[in-house]
Amino acid sequence: MRIARVLTSAALLLGAAASPAVADSSPSASPSGDGAAPTSAGTSFRTATEIQQGQQATANASTGDYLYWQFPAEEQQRPTVRATVKLPSSPRSSAQTWQLDVYDGLRRRQACQYGAQTRTAAQDASSVNLSCTLRTVRAWAEPWADDPLPGTYYIRLTVVGVGTADLGQPVNAEVRVDSKDIGGSAAVDGSLAEPLVPGIATRSEKPSDSDTDTAALSKLRPDASGWWSDRWVWTGVGGILAALAGIGGYALTRGSGRPSRVPPGA
């Protein structure tokens, strides 16, 4: 009975401690609530349209244009970028190949962990869907590594294979970014002094002694994750289980605790 009580207590403590970690692993797909989703896209890194995770951004463009958006990502997130290109109903001369690329704040192209980054739409297709799931964003990495780091990320959508006669035809693009919180399993010992948020925006006001705009940091900054990580939860769970295992082992090996009888005449 004593061992059963010990095991029951261990199960209850494990469930109570693990519940926050399970809750933190849910995808973050809620809109930011900062306003309506953008309805246009930039044409370069410097003019990339800012979007928040969970927003459905749209843009009207022409076949052959380069479309750019940017979004923030923080450590321990695994962003997934999805794009849908609605093609014109007018006859096309050939199939079209579209490509979705993602770059970090240093404009380094990031590899997709999985997803259809490049797809070819048939000549009579009405749309094409693309997706790119990045590797988990790390809090710190070696300077020579190209690991995803906290900060701004750029999305570039364009056609890479198209007939000359189809260039300039109108298309509609939809882009959305969602992230899954990976949690403490992706935590590292270290962090960046500042997130990779380049000076891509310009201040509206001008300094009194200059007639040129000055570069400013982007308004899209990832939220600080803080010092808390669910690694603390599992470390605590491990300590509790170790203590309970020690108590259970002692209960099994110590015996009844009663002194043995001494035979008469001994």
Contacts for 237 with CB less than 8 Å, ≥ 6 apart: 13, 14, 17, 18
Quick one: pLDDT at residue 172?
A: 96
Residue 24 host element (H or E): helix 2-24
Full pLDDT tens readout for the chain, 266 residues: 455 454 455 444 444 444 443 333 333 333 444 568 899 999 999 999 999 999 999 999 999 999 999 999 988 899 999 999 999 888 888 999 999 999 998 899 999 999 999 999 999 999 999 999 999 888 776 777 788 888 999 999 999 999 999 999 999 999 999 998 876 555 555 555 566 777 544 343 444 444 443 333 344 444 444 455 555 666 777 788 888 888 888 777 876 555 556 566 65
Categorise residue 201: left if φ over 0, alpha if ψ from -120 to 50, beta otherwise.
beta
For residue 241, give the 3-state DSSP assignment. helix
Categorise residue 24: left if φ over 0, alpha if ψ from -120 to 50, beta otherwise.
alpha
Quick one: pLDDT at residue 37?
A: 87
Q: Is-above-0.85 flag for pTM?
A: no
CA distance 71 to 102: 10
Q: Domains of the chain (ranges plus CATH)?
A: 30-205 (2.60.120)
Quick one: pLDDT at residue 212?
A: 41
Quick one: pLDDT at residue 21?
A: 39
Contact 87, 171 (CB under 8 A): yes
> What type of residue is 211?
D
Beta partners for residue 109, in sequence order: 103
